């Protein structure tokens, strides 16, 4: 019996071999086509990889100096991976994804992780460095001049800008004529060939690598000169005016045996407490200089249970919600109302109205906030003069809050007006016409058809606006600066948001508390993330209903 012939479109296949593809040349699986590398592309690759290598070398030196071997390993592995990726012709998708991923890690993930880790420490003023740093600071700050102390001719200098650079003491020993340079890191002897010493005053008048300050420049930084202490083996060097310095003896000394600091004059002792990162006396007194330690959940507990912190925190949280909801809700209602009015076919000159109405949106917000702050001025502000009022807008709790909400309403309604106008134009006119035919009033038509469809389109924008206003630091700092403040609580004002309260905790004049500020930041993140997640979930359900 003869085998059937293959018909059109059919093909016979030999076991172990691929079927022939009509009209296409056979190619090897390993053969690949690559576009030729242009001279411009080659130059760009060399420049960018050279930049990566330069940054890696620059970053490696401080890591080696600090002994951060894990960070050095990560740096080396990342640099090697980038060279492998971009010098080869494989992994094309990764060439586009890796840069964005690295920037995401550098500018988003790492700051978040650093903030979270800081929240579990006592990091802040008095607790910035290690225990050894604290011991050095305690001993050098207690230095006093004693009979027989070595005195030096002093010249104030800097290694940078005369007004802002780090100060350096250029010292000359009147007996030996030796010259030294001293700063917070210690004392260093200078080569005689690198300095010029006056024969008359004995002071250093010039030194290689240093900028000598004039008497006027040094006088302008007298507080920094007084605060600068140069540690030495026998004590520390402090300035005595602007032209003389002395090497004094530390009144407080550290004893490693008892792990304590003792004052030689009073005999008082402070013992190291590793839990709080401070030297503590028997009666509970702590020395100002401490060190950074892990305190676990202490900061979180303080925010929730310590009345000195939890009271301002929860009071600020309540106003924060009111501010975010009021700013978002009022701007939405006003913007939607104006959009509905201009959407009416009976309106004339709508383009002119729209241009005028979006002017606040076109102006820089920080400049407008400063203008509004002056308009609310009690004595010469426009609002009081125009309406004949005598209101101290920023002096009272509720008047200041109303003023802030009014400013937010003026700044925010143009955005809501624009998005509502676009959403209204996307709603089919047949839907509202059908409700009219059924006998519905305009209000009923708006409530049953227009508003639900508007909310479907605008809900994500409203959620984003709420999250933005929840952390709208500019609106507060440029108008009320968080005030008014109670006389007994200068760190928390009536119009403070959690973000401005956090800023004041971290950088306030009362002393920086970075650990506590980081804890409040985590609470802010958790609150905004939870509300956004719940709101987006409800928005998706709403979309399913009206889709």
What pLDDT score does 176 carry? 84
Instruction: Enumerate residues 6+ apart whose C-beta is below 8 A from 263.
Output: 142, 251, 252, 269
- Helix, strand or coil, per DSSP, at residue 270: strand
25 in any annotated domain = no
Confidence of residue 544 (pLDDT cuts 50, 70, 90): low
**Per-residue confidence (pLDDT) for residue 189, from 0 to 100:** 93
Residue, of 18 and 372, whose pLDDT is higher = 372
Instruction: Report residue 206 as tokens.
Output: 């010039």
Specify the long-range contacts of residues 447-451, CB closer than 8 Å, at least 24 apart: 450/340, 450/424
Nearest residue to 488 via CA among 308, 330, 318, 325: 308
Q: Quick one: 207 and 317 in the same domain?
A: no
514: domain CATH number is 1.10.3720.10
CB-CB contact of 236 with 250 (8 Å): yes
Output the 3-class SS for 78-129.
Answer: HHHHHHHHHHCCCCHHHHHHHHHHHHHHHHHHHHHHHHHHHCCECCECCECC
Give residues with Cβ within 8 angstroms of 43, minimum separation 6. none
Q: Is 28 within a domain?
A: no
Q: What range does the domain containing 81 cover? A: 40-118
* Structure confidence at residue 475 (pLDDT): 94
Q: Are residues 387 and 536 located together in one domain of the fold?
A: yes
Q: Please, what sign has the CA dihedral across residues 363, 367, 373, 374? A: negative
Residue recorded with tokens 């929860």: 314
What's the rounded Cα separation, in Å, for the pair 219 and 430? 79
Q: How far apart are CA 32 and CA 514, in angstroms?
A: 56
pLDDT on residue 508: 77
Instruction: Decide if 50 is inside a domain.
Output: yes
Q: Using CA atoms, how far apart are residues 258 and 268, in angstroms rounded to an integer?
A: 13
pLDDT over 90 (residue 257): yes
Q: What is the dihedral of CA 518, 523, 524, 525, to 10 degrees?
A: 90
Q: What is the pLDDT confidence band of residue 11, given thresholds at 50, 70 and 90?
A: very low
Whether 338 and 472 map to the same domain: the answer is yes
CA 132-229-206 angle, 5° bins: 130
What domain count does the chain have? Answer: 3
Query: Same domain, yes or no, for 107 and 158?
Result: no
Give Cα separations from 206 to 90, 111, 183, 211 (angstroms): 59, 43, 17, 8
- For 513-523, b where at least 16 C-beta lie within 10 A, e where not — what string? bbbbbbbbbbb
Whether residues 438 and 321 share a domain: the answer is yes
Residue 215 in domain: yes
**CA–CA separation, 361 and 410 (whole Å):** 9
> Is residue 294 assigned to a domain?
no
Q: Is residue 22 part of a domain?
A: no
Average pLDDT, integer, range 341-365: 87
Q: Which two tokens stand for residue 423?
A: 């959403």
Separation of alpha carbons 372 and 410, rounded Å? 10
What percentage of the chain exceeds 90 in pLDDT? 61
Confidence class of residue 547 from pLDDT cuts 50, 70 and 90?
low
Neighbours of 216 (CB within 10 A): 8
Look at residue 289 and tell me whether its pLDDT is greater than 80.
Answer: yes
Mean pLDDT in residue range 258-270: 94
Work out whether the CA dihedral 438, 440, 442, 444 comes out positive or negative: negative
Q: What is the pLDDT of residues 387-429, one digit of tens each?
A: 999 999 999 999 999 999 999 999 999 999 999 999 999 888 8
Residues 366 and 426 in one domain: yes
pLDDT category of residue 545 using cuts at 50, 70 and 90: low
Give pLDDT, residue 12: 45
- CA dihedral sign of residues 270, 274, 276, 282: negative
Residue ending a domain, among 221, 254, 273, is 273
Tokens encoding 117:
């880790």
Please state the pTM of the whole predicted model: 0.79
The residues with which 17 forms a beta bridge, in sequence order, are none
pLDDT digit string (tens) for 466-492?
Answer: 999 999 999 999 999 999 998 888 889
Look at residue 14 in the predicted model and tell me its pLDDT. Answer: 47
Residue 8: predicted pLDDT: 44
Residues 29-73 pLDDT 10s: 444 445 567 888 888 889 999 999 999 999 999 999 888 899 999
pLDDT, position 89: 84
What mean pLDDT is predicted for residues 289-318? 94
Token digits for 184? 């917070």
Tell me if residue 59 falls in helix, strand or coil.
helix
Which residue, 87, 118, 149, sits at the end of a domain?
A: 118
Contact between 404 and 323 (Cβ < 8 Å): yes
User: Is 37 in a helix, a strand, or coil?
Assistant: coil
> What is the model's pLDDT at position 270?
97
Is the domain of 179 the same as that of 112?
no
| pLDDT tens, residue by residue, 203-247 | 999 999 999 999 999 999 998 999 899 988 878 999 999 999 999
141 and 109 together in one domain? no
Angle between helices 514-546 and 451-470 (to 10 degrees): 170
Q: What is the mean pLDDT of residues 8-33?
A: 48
Residue 444 and residue 316 share a domain: yes
| Cα dihedral sign, 189-192-195-196 | positive
The domain that contains 263 carries what CATH number? 2.40.430.10
Helix ranges restricted to H, 427-497: 429-437, 442-445, 451-470, 473-477
Q: Are residues 362 and 437 in the same domain?
A: yes
Question: Would strands 179-183 and 186-189 be described as parallel, antiparallel, or unpaired?
Answer: antiparallel
For residue 154, report the phi and psi dihedrals to the nearest 5 degrees: -110, 135
Domain end: 57, 84, 118, which one? 118
Q: How confident is the prediction for the chain on average, in pLDDT?
A: 88
Question: How far is residue 206 CA from its own chain's centroid?
Answer: 41
CA–CA distance, 55 with 43 (Å, rounded to integer): 18
pLDDT surpassing 50 at residue 3: no
pLDDT of res. 144: 87
144 has which bridge partners? 249
- Is residue 125, in this structure, part of any structural domain at all? no
Is residue 112, in this structure, part of any structural domain at all?
Answer: yes
Do residue 78 and residue 204 come from a single domain? no
Same domain, yes or no: 139 and 209:
yes
Lowest mean pLDDT among 75-79, 123-127, 231-235, 267-271: 231-235
pLDDT, residue 17, reads: 52
């Amino acid at each position: 019996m003869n085998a059937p012939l293959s018909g059109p479109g059919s093909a016979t296949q030999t076991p172990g071999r691929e079927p022939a593809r009509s009209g296409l040349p056979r190619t090897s699986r390993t053969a690949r086509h690559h576009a030729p590398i242009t001279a411009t592309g080659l130059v760009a690759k060399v420049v960018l990889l050279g930049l990566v290598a330069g940054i890696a070398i620059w970053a490696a030196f401080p890591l080696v100096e600090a002994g951060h071997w894990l960070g050095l390993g990560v740096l080396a592995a990342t640099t090697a991976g980038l060279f492998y990726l971009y010098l080869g012709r494989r992994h094309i998708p990764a060439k586009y994804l890796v840069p964005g991923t690295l920037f995401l890690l550098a500018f988003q993930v790492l700051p978040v992780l650093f903030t979270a880790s800081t929240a579990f420490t006592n990091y802040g003023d008095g607790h910035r460095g290690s225990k050894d740093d604290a011991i050095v600071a305690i001993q050098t700050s207690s230095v006093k001049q004693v009979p027989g102390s070595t005195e030096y001719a002093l010249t104030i200098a800097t290694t940078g800008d005369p007004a802002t650079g780090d100060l350096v003491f250029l010292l000359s020993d009147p007996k030996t004529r030796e010259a030294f340079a001293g700063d917070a890191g210690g004392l260093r002897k200078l080569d005689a060939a690198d300095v010029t010493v006056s024969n008359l005053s004995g002071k250093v008048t010039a030194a290689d690598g240093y900028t000598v300050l004039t008497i006027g420049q040094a006088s302008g930084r007298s507080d920094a000169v007084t605060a600068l202490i140069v540690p030495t083996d026998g004590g520390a060097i402090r300035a005595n005016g602007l032209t003389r310095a002395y090497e004094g003896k530390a009144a407080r000394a550290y004893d490693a045996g008892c792990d304590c600091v003792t004052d030689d004059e009073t005999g008082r002792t402070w013992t190291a407490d590793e839990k709080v990162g401070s030297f503590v006396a028997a009666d509970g007194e702590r020395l100002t200089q401490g060190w950074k330690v892990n305190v676990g959940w202490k900061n979180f507990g303080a925010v929730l249970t310590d009345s000195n912190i939890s009271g301002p925190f929860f009071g600020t949280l309540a106003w924060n919600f009111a501010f975010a909801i009021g700013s978002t809700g009022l701007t939405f209602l006003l913007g939607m109302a104006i959009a509905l009015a201009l959407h009416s076919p009976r309106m004339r000159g709508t383009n002119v109205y729209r241009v005028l109405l979006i002017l606040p949106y076109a102006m820089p917000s920080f400049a407008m906030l400063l203008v509004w702050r002056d308009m609310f001025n009690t004595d010469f502000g426009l609002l009081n003069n125009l309406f004949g009022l005598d209101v101290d807008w920023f002096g009272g709790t509720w008047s200041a809050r109303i003023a802030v909400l009014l400013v937010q309403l003026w700044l925010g309604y143009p955005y809501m007006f624009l998005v509502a106008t676009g959403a209204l134009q996307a709603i089919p006119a047949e839907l509202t016409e059908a409700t009219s035919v059924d006998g519905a009033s305009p209000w009923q038509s708006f409530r049953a058809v227009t508003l639900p469809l508007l909310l479907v389109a605008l809900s994500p924008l409203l959620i984003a606006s709420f999250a933005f206003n929840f952390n709208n630091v500019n609106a507060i700092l440029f108008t009320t600066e968080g005030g008014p403040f109670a006389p007994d609580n200068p760190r928390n004002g009536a119009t403070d948001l959690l973000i401005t309260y956090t800023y004041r905790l971290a950088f306030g004049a009362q002393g920086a508390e970075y650990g506590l500020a980081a804890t409040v930041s985590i609470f802010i993140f958790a609150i905004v993330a939870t509300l956004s997640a719940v709101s987006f979930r409800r928005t998706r359900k709403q979309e399913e209903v009206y889709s």
